[in-house]
Amino acid sequence: MSVRIEQNEILKHFELDTVTESYGNGHINDTYLVTAPRYILQRINTSIFTDPEGLMENIDNVTSFLREKIRADGGDVRRGTLQLVPAKDGRHYYRYDDENVFRVYRFVEGTKSIENSKTPEDLYEAGVGFGHFQKLLADFPVEKLHETIQDFHHTPKRVEALRKAIREDRAGRAGSVQAEIDFALENASWADSVVKGMEEGRIPVRVTHNDTKINNILFDRDTGKAVCVIDLDTVMPGSMLYDFGDALRMGGSTAAEDEADLDKVWFNEGAFEAFAKGYLSEMREALTQEELALLPLSVKLMTYECGIRFLTDYLNGDTYFKIHREHHNLDRARNQFKLVADIAGKEARLAQKLGL
C-alpha cells in the first residue's frame, strides 16, 4: 500500500478526507499536515513508545485537564493546548496494525515554531511557556500518568548502562576513549542528586514534559509570545528539574550538540538568565527551596546524562542514536562533556543570578 493511499485510508477513520503533506522535522514520529481545514496527522513510533494506548491516555487526560484550567482562566482553549480529534470509534487514536498507530490534532492557527533560536527574548518566552505548562498542571493527579519510556531520566541507571558498555566493549572502542570514560565516571558521584531526592521525598514528583527543546513550543506569529506546549509523548511523572535542565542543555549552549570544534562550545550565562527569568515568573512560588537551589545543577545533570548516553551508544557500536558521520556519537559525547565542565565552573554565578 502506498504512503498516500495509507494516509487517505487512515484519515477516513477520523472522518477526514483531504490531502496531506510531510510536516515538521521530528526525529521520532512521522508527521503530516492535513489541509483544508488544517489538522496534524501523526504515526506514533511504536518501536520507542511500546504502549501507545497508555501514551494516548496520558495525552488525553493532560490536555483535557489543561483545557479546563485555560477555560477557567478565560484563555483560548483552541490555542492554549493541543486538541485531539477522536476517531469514529470514540478513541483518540486509530490502530491500523501492531506497527502503525495514528492520531490527529487540530492545527493551532496563527502560530509558528522556532527551531533553535537562542535570543534572550525567545528563551524568556520559552521559559514562560514551559513554566506556565507546569503551573497549570501543578495539581494534576500525577499517579494517573503512565511511564511512556521507563527510567527515561534515571541518571544512575544511565551510569550503570555506561559501565556495562565499558565492560562489554562490543565495538572494541573503549581503549581509544579512555579520557572520555574517565571524565564520565569521575562525575558519576553526583548523578543521583535528583533521583535520590525524589526517592527520599525531598524533591516533589510532578507532571513533567521531558523534552523541553524550544521547538516544542508554539509561539504567536505576530507577538512572539509562547502559546502552546506540544510533543506530549514523554509527559510522565518526574522532577521539574529535568525540564528546566534539559531546556538549557541546548538553549544555553553556544553550539549545536554535535559540534566537533570544542573551542566553539561553552555555556552562555545570559541564556540561563533569560530562560530562568521566564520560567520563574510562572513557577517560583510553586517550587520548594531545594528545587530552587538545584536549578543550576539540573543543567549540568541533564547535559551529563545526555553525554554518557552518547558515549554508551558509541561504545555499543552506534545502535540507538542516528549517526551521519564516523565518530558522530563520540563528537556528541565530547561536546556535552565540554559543556558539563564549563557549567561546573559557573554554577556559583548561575546561583547568584537566581538570587540564591
| Model pLDDT for residues 238-261, shown as the tens digit of each residue | 999 999 999 999 999 999 999 999
The pLDDT assigned to 38 comes to 87
Across 12-26, 48-62, 86-100, least confident range: 12-26
How sure is the predictor about 5, in pLDDT bands with cuts at 50, 70 and 90? very low
pLDDT tens column, 193-242:
999 999 999 999 999 999 999 999 999 999 999 999 999 999 999 999 99
Residue 68 has pLDDT above 50, yes or no: yes
How sure is the predictor about 97, in pLDDT bands with cuts at 50, 70 and 90? confident
Q: Are 79 and 63 in contact (CB under 8 A)?
A: no
How sure is the predictor about 307, in pLDDT bands with cuts at 50, 70 and 90? very high
The pLDDT assigned to 3 comes to 43
Residues paired with residue 21 on neighbouring β-strands, in sequence order: 33
Residue 35 has pLDDT above 80, yes or no: no
Query: Is the pLDDT higher at 22 or at 54?
Result: 54
275 Cβ contact list (under 8 Å, min separation 6): 123, 124, 126, 127, 247, 248, 251, 252
Query: Is the pLDDT higher at 355 or at 144?
Result: 144
Phi, psi of 311 (to 5 degrees): -65, -40
pLDDT tens column, 99-145:
889 999 999 999 999 987 889 999 999 999 999 999 999 999 999 99
The pLDDT assigned to 179 comes to 98
- Measured CA distances, 344 to 42, 116, 290 (Å): 40, 24, 18
209 Rama sector, left if φ>0, alpha if ψ -120 to 50, beta otherwise = alpha
Q: What is the C-alpha to C-alpha distance for residues 241 and 219, in angstroms, rounded to an integer?
A: 23
The pLDDT assigned to 290 comes to 96
State the average pLDDT for the chain: 92
Residue 349 has pLDDT above 60, yes or no: yes
Residue 28 has pLDDT above 60, yes or no: no
The pLDDT assigned to 99 comes to 82
The pLDDT assigned to 18 comes to 65
The pLDDT assigned to 117 comes to 80
CB-based burial label for 77 (10 Å; 0-12, 13-18, 19+): middle
Tell me the mean pLDDT in the region 267-290: 97
Alpha helix locations (H) across 76-219? 77-80, 120-136, 155-168, 178-186, 193-199
Q: What is the C-alpha to C-alpha distance for residues 114 and 131, in angstroms, rounded to an integer?
A: 18
Tell me the mean pLDDT in the region 75-88: 95
Q: What is the C-alpha to C-alpha distance for residues 114 and 85, in angstroms, rounded to an integer?
A: 25
Residue 180 has pLDDT above 90, yes or no: yes
Q: How far is CA 162 from the centre of its chain?
A: 22
Q: What is the C-alpha to C-alpha distance for residues 114 and 223, in angstroms, rounded to an integer?
A: 13
User: Which domains does the chain carry?
Assistant: 3-109 (3.30.200.20), 120-353 (3.90.1200.10)
What is the Rg, in whole angstroms, of the alpha carbon atoms belonging to the chain?
Answer: 21
Cell of 209: 514534559
Pairing of strands 30-34, 39-44: antiparallel
Rounded percentage of the chain residues whose pLDDT exceeds 70: 93
Q: What is the DSSP letter of 40?
A: E
Q: What is the C-alpha to C-alpha distance for residues 188 and 155, in angstroms, rounded to an integer?
A: 9
How sure is the predictor about 19, in pLDDT bands with cuts at 50, 70 and 90? low
The pLDDT assigned to 32 comes to 72
